Amino acid sequence: MRILVTGGAGFIGSHLCDRLLQEGHQVIAVDNLITGARANLEHLSSRTDLSFIAHDVTQYIHVDGPLDAVLHFASPASPVDYLRVPIQTLKVGALGTHNALGLAKAKGARFMLASTSEVYGDPQVHPQPESYWGHVNPIGPRGVYDEAKRFAEALTMAYHRVHAVDTRIARIFNTYGPRMRLDDGRVVPNFIGQALRREPLTVYGDGEQTRSFCYIDDLIEGIYRLLHSHETGPVNLGNPSEMRILELAHLIVRLTGNPAGIVMQSEKRIEGDPRTRQPDIRKAQRVLGWEPQVGLEEGIQRTSAWFRERIGVRD
């Protein structure tokens, strides 16, 4: 297959490019590098079956030749990023999705949208199944990301119904692993970075908010299976093992041997930060035969080793 990946130089996008190439596909990675990095694709620079286009997908996307699939993974995805560039986040969710869908329609290609668990907002149903419509504040600071993805899902289904585009929607829950940026504001790189620098881990709020963390290799396996499935509606992809943020902090302190411990900053609870997040993955289990395989402790050790090498920290 000849496959275009928007956001191909990002954290998830670059791992997806790895997998597609491994499976023998030809890949075109498109990225404007607003949050992605060319370094994420450097290890593939000698490959002739990968090409890179520096382009903002909120502008018309032109690609010569046939395409079999368009995978739309372009978007800021961490609160630090989408609060820094809120308008660009809305535009890539709306205009970028429109352009990517238009390209898929023109090429007769399969289309996949990288959606997010944020479409569920601060959920009132727990765990969250795909049938849950969500509890989102459209005018809050996080609404720029939540509503961009909700609109992207609506547009994807409209193209499926009206233009018969063969669609896939991956609702991605918290994912971590190598190639995350230490400064991207998400809790795993924040905690690992602090631990490797022998600083106290900063826990905002009361630490009782929960998340479910999926290792990147597991997520990519789910995405690849979804791409080759016949499921056109949303599918949750994430790890259903829920834990409190304070528990995560204690785990990382233990695994890294950080003597500085943990500091609570209850006054700094982030506005709109969901109190709970846990995927109901029964649909993925049934339709894709998929569930995560990498345990959190193993995944954190792999991620810590990668960060340790990048920032030059010795044991």
Beta-carbon contacts of residue 229 (< 8 Å; ≥ 6 apart): 168, 287, 288
End-to-end CA distance of the chain: 44
* CB-based burial label for 139 (10 Å; 0-12, 13-18, 19+): exposed
* CB-based burial label for 257 (10 Å; 0-12, 13-18, 19+): exposed
The residue length of the chain stands at 315
- Six-digit token pair at 207? 């630490």
Q: Residues with catalytic annotation?
A: 145
- What SS3 class is residue 168? strand
In DSSP terms, 52 is beta-bridged to 29
Contact 223, 291 (CB under 8 A): no
Contact 27, 8 (CB under 8 A): yes
Give the span between the Cα atoms of 134 and 115, in whole angstroms.
Answer: 13
Chain center to CA of 303: 16
* CB-based burial label for 303 (10 Å; 0-12, 13-18, 19+): buried
- Six-digit token pair at 244? 């409190």
- What SS3 class is residue 111? strand
